[in-house]
Structure 1
Amino acid sequence: MIKILLCDDHAVVRSGLHVLLNAVPDMEVIGEASEGNEAIEKALQLKPDVVLMDLSMPHGKDGLSATSELKKQLPDIAILILTMHDDEEYLFRAIQAGASGCVLKSAPHKELVDAIKSVCSGNAYLHPAATKRLMDEYLGNLKQSGTDLFQLLSDREKEVLTLIAKGYSNKEIGEKLVISVKTVETHKSNVMEKLQMKTRPELVEYALKKGLLGYGM
């Protein structure tokens, strides 16, 4: 049973989340708080597995401050930030404060439940848009620092890139590597994202510069 503490300054929101989460077989809301100081007090008293923390609370301690303080006092607690802000600034600040993840208030109920289970298991959780922005920023930083993006490719992705550059179709690549066309397309998409390219000719030009056409395949 995952024990959850809700912290949100809106009673209606807390009430809705309480009903929603208690309806999940392996979850139980064991307490509520309307601001950060109360959340810290309740967490120390009730020892929840997960604190669902609102980011913006105008009265009392805000969600970021409460998260930082809670992680100091209860290092093993998982804190999932619940926010309306689809903004990387808030996301980075929440992670720096010690949050295990961040989910939008507009997210479907299933995503919220999955996020709670994820952080309770010791994993991080970011909503899909945030994950993409973090990846984009990471890749951008690598590019600016001069790091070779080729190092990000898996061995299979390098094989697919090489065959693309040699002019093989997705079907032919699948037959050569004994994988499905769909898997080939997935690898190709991953390669393009990691190398920050949008077209096949860009991939071919890149492969030529890397000397991949000299690989025997």
Structure 2
Amino acid sequence: MIRVLLADDEDLIRTALAALLGLEPDLEVVAQASGGRAAVDAALAHRPDVAVVDLEMPGGPDGLGVAAELARALPSCRVVILTGHGRPPLLQRALEAGARAFLPKGSPGGALADVIRRVHSGQRYVDPALAADALTAPPCPLTDRELEVLRLAEHDAPVTVIARKAGLSQGTVRNYLAAAATKIGASGRAEAYRIAHEHGWL
């Protein structure tokens, strides 16, 4: 019997997945969580064989963070990232974080059960269409510092706040934001953030 943890902040999706997996004779959902921190705690408490984790969840860490934490604290638990946002850079970051599979939420009904079995047996799985996109996707043109500052600029945070969090001067923050916007053809930092987020660079 393969023991499974489900983590998704949308109750309807999580409950539907649990019901779907419950029909499989060799799978048992032993725990559910609605956020990243709860997912890590539940994994440490129940020690599942496989954790199916939504990419974007509230309550600190996101799916990538959960994968990274479990890779360190519970390496016997294989992580499957389930997402509605299958962008190539996110695929690379998920694999680097320790995830064993990356599956879009729009996949066929039986695909998740098959992927759980695959990763439990030691294999990896990446959706073929997403893998093909990843091979042809242009690289991110922004530096790590530009990405860091742009990430902190979410919700139109003031430059003073960004500077304090990044440990930089306000002038340096403005320069990084301007450079990032120029490189990706954005009219300002709000548009630069949106474009970077849509491409999965953040």
Asked if Structure 1 and Structure 2 have the same fold, meaning a TM-score greater than 0.5 normalized by the shorter chain, the answer is yes
2:162 corresponds to:
none
Structure 2 CA distance for aligned equivalents of residues 26 and 75 of structure 1: 21
Q: Give the letter for the 2:127 counterpart.
A: H
Cα deviation 1:121-157 (Å, max 9, x = unaligned)? 11000111123234557xx9xxxxxxxxxxxxxxxxx
Task: Give identity over the alignment, percent.
Answer: 41
Unpaired runs of 5+ in structure 2?
Answer: 139-202
Q: Give the letter for the 2:95 counterpart.
A: I
What SS does structure 1 have at the residue aligned with 2:38? helix
Structure 1 CA distance for aligned equivalents of residues 15 and 65 of structure 2: 24
1:32 corresponds to:
32
The equivalences for 1:2-21 within 5 A come to 2-21=2-21
Deviation of residue 56 (structure 1)?
0.4
In 1, are the aligned partners of 2:88 and 2:131 still within 8 Å (CA)? no
1:210 corresponds to:
none
Root mean square deviation of aligned Cα: 1.7
2:97 corresponds to:
97
Moved over 3 A (4+): 133-137
Q: How many residues align?
A: 139
Cα deviation 1:79-112 (Å, max 9, x = unaligned)? 0000011210111111111000111101011111
Q: Give the letter for the 1:107 counterpart.
A: S
The equivalences for 1:57-72 within 5 A come to 57-72=57-72
In 1, are the aligned partners of 2:5 and 2:32 still within 8 Å (CA)? yes
2:132 corresponds to:
132
Structure 2 CA distance for aligned equivalents of residues 120 and 37 of structure 1: 23
Q: Give the letter for the 1:103 counterpart.
A: L
In 1, are the aligned partners of 2:37 and 2:59 still within 8 Å (CA)? no
What SS does structure 1 have at the residue aligned with 2:131? helix
Unpaired runs of 5+ in structure 1?
Answer: 141-217
1:86 corresponds to:
86
What SS does structure 2 have at the residue aligned with 1:40? helix
Cα deviation 1:25-47 (Å, max 9, x = unaligned)? 11110000111111111111111
Structure 1 CA distance for aligned equivalents of residues 45 and 76 of structure 2: 15
Structure 1 CA distance for aligned equivalents of residues 95 and 136 of structure 2: 17
What SS does structure 2 have at the residue aligned with 1:109? coil
Higher relative contact order (CA 8 A, sep 6+): 2
Deviation of residue 15 (structure 1)?
0.5
Structure 2 CA distance for aligned equivalents of residues 89 and 58 of structure 1: 21
1:163 corresponds to:
none
Structure 2 CA distance for aligned equivalents of residues 135 and 57 of structure 1: 27
